[in-house]
Amino acid sequence: MGTAAEQRAEEQQAIEDERLAFERRHRAFMTVTKQFAPHGDGAPLDADLKELDAADADWKAKNAVVERIAEEIRTGKRR
């Protein structure tokens, strides 16, 4: 653990990274779901499904960092 200022910077970066990953995941989800009725033919493109999987994995990784930091705050390991 670094100084309090370094910890705040890490926390802010983790939250921003998680937010951006969530937005990416949301966009990918919307792209896939728009390909179903009544807007599409029900056959999402493989590339769109792969992007959704990648975006979901990225969000889970970024969210795990936020959860780790939150647990450190709850347990008093962070100032």
**Tens-digit pLDDT profile for residues 12-57:** 999 999 999 999 999 999 999 999 988 889 899 999 999 999 999 9
Spatial separation of the C-alpha atoms in residues 32 and 25, rounded to whole Å: 11
Domains of the chain: total:
1
Instruction: Reply yes or no on whether the pLDDT at 2 is more than 90.
Output: no
**Burial of residue 71, with CB atoms counted within 10 A of its CB: 0-12 exposed, 13-18 middle, 19 or more buried:** exposed
What pLDDT sits at residue 69? Answer: 97
**22 is in which domain, residue-wise?**
4-74
| 79 found inside a domain | no
Entry pTM: 0.89
| 30 found inside a domain | yes
| 14 found inside a domain | yes
| 40 found inside a domain | yes
| 12 found inside a domain | yes
Task: For helices 46-74 and 4-33, give the axis angle rounded to 10 degrees.
Answer: 150
Local structure of 73: helix, strand or coil: helix
| 37 found inside a domain | yes
